[in-house]
Amino acid sequence: MQKRQKYSSGTKWESVVGYSRALRLGNRIFVTGTTATDVNGNIVGAGDAYAQTVQAIKNIERALRALDANLEHVVRTRMFVTDISRWEEYGRAHGEFFRKIMPATSMIEISKLIDPGMLIEIEADAEV
């Protein structure tokens, strides 16, 4: 059986809901749905779809680095957005980080996230 390495960002939701921000199992890393929050849990980029996407990806990058990986290892992202009409803003930020990596991706409109100020949540899978 492979050893599980877990990374916690320390948010209150992780212990309440019972999940890890990221989990490494062998060569695979799974990053939980990640939003645009700072280290204190405050939303970054209020009302700004581009800024929130950038922050969410930076948070994903932090989780990957904690598990000895980086964005170049990402093979799939899933973007859950509250307003698909803003796809160009989300997409521009995603492209700035992933244009050369070209992971498989999805952008899916959802009705809302846990906080009304959150516009996007991103999941990432990586292979090291």
| 33 token code pair | 């749905």
CATH code: domain 4-127 is 3.30.1330.40
* Residue range 81-126, pLDDT digits in tens: 999 999 999 999 999 999 999 999 999 999 999 999 999 999 999 9
pTM over cut 0.85: yes
Q: Contact, 35 vs 118, CB < 8 A?
A: yes
CA separation for the pair 47, 86 (Å, rounded): 11
- Coil vs helix vs strand at 55: helix
Amino acid letter for position 38: D
CA separation for the pair 35, 43 (Å, rounded): 8
